[in-house]
Amino acid sequence: MTPLQKEEIYKLRLQGLGYKAIASQLFLSTDSVKSYCKRYHLNGPAEVVELNAEVIKKNQGICLHCNNPIRQKKLGRSKKYCSDACRYTWWNQNQDKRNTNKELIRTYTCQRCGKEGSVYGKTEQKYCSHDCYIKARFWGEDNEI
């Protein structure tokens, strides 16, 4: 079963389709669709499946961006996204959900050009751009072009 087929099974199951309908639509056996649905808690009536999907999403079992199932490791923090690409896209689309405490936004002055800037998080930023960093690191004060 390909990852695309798995994604389609998930989407069709949330739409309320049964195992046979999904299997015939994706040219798979009914048993493979059933076992996939049981493995990822998509079995039962469609209404229950929708509720299960929301509960699983809250318990970090489904990717917040693409709704694909995530296999969690037994130890460590649970994953919220299936890949880095999903994480980047989700945060780019949901920047309003970021923790915007005033304490986390820090202002700094570029050590080379003196521009004021602000940065989010604990990073100790010294320069306003990569260009300023390169000029300060390798060119020095005397070698301005």
- Distance from first CA to last CA of the chain, Å, rounded? 59
Expressed as residue numbers, the domain containing 110 is: 102-139
85 inside domain: yes
Closest to 70 in 3D by CA, of 48, 93, 40? 40
34 inside domain: yes
Beta carbons within 10 angstroms of residue 127's beta carbon = 19
Same domain, 86 and 132: no
The answer to whether 51 touches 44, Cβ cutoff 8 Å, is: no
37 inside domain: yes
- Assign residue 16 a region (left: φ > 0; alpha: ψ between -120 and 50; beta: otherwise): left
Per-residue pLDDT of the chain (145 residues; tens, 9 = 90+): 888 898 888 888 877 788 888 899 899 999 999 998 888 777 777 666 666 666 655 666 778 888 777 877 777 788 888 899 999 998 889 877 776 666 778 888 999 999 998 887 767 888 999 999 999 888 876 555 5
Chain length of the chain:
145
pTM for the whole structure: 0.38
Same domain, 31 and 71: yes
